[in-house]
Amino acid sequence: MTANGVRAAALALAFLLTGCLGPDTPEEQLESIEALQAKKLPMTDEQKALFSKHLENGRKALAAGNKEEAGKAFDAALAILKVAEDTALFNKAD
């Protein structure tokens, strides 16, 4: 990962830890994920694989009624998308 990617990841982690990513419920998180997916953000193969895994796990947990697990999985998926979004914005500024 490049230095720019590391900085973006650190920023996303800071937001995640302070609760600034926004959505509170798994349903709201899923809406945010879908909105970010629509932007077709560039991601590495590793990011894509992890994102898909977390999204799938979140959807399964939500379908099973386990909102706590769904929220955790969607948080992880959102963090990946936020890093991709921040990286794309940073690269665009270059």
- Number of Cβ atoms within 10 Å of the Cβ of 56: 12
Residue 18: per-residue pLDDT? 47
Q: Computed over its alpha carbons, how large is the radius of gyration of the chain?
A: 13
pLDDT higher for 21 or 4?
A: 4
What pTM, to 2 d.p., does this model score?
0.72
Give dist(CA 1, CA 84) in Å, integer: 12
* pLDDT tens column, 69-78: 999 999 999 9
* pLDDT tens column, 5-63: 666 666 666 555 545 556 789 999 999 999 999 999 999 999 999 999 999 999 999 99
Give dist(CA 38, CA 40) in Å, integer: 5
Longest dimension (CA), the chain: 44
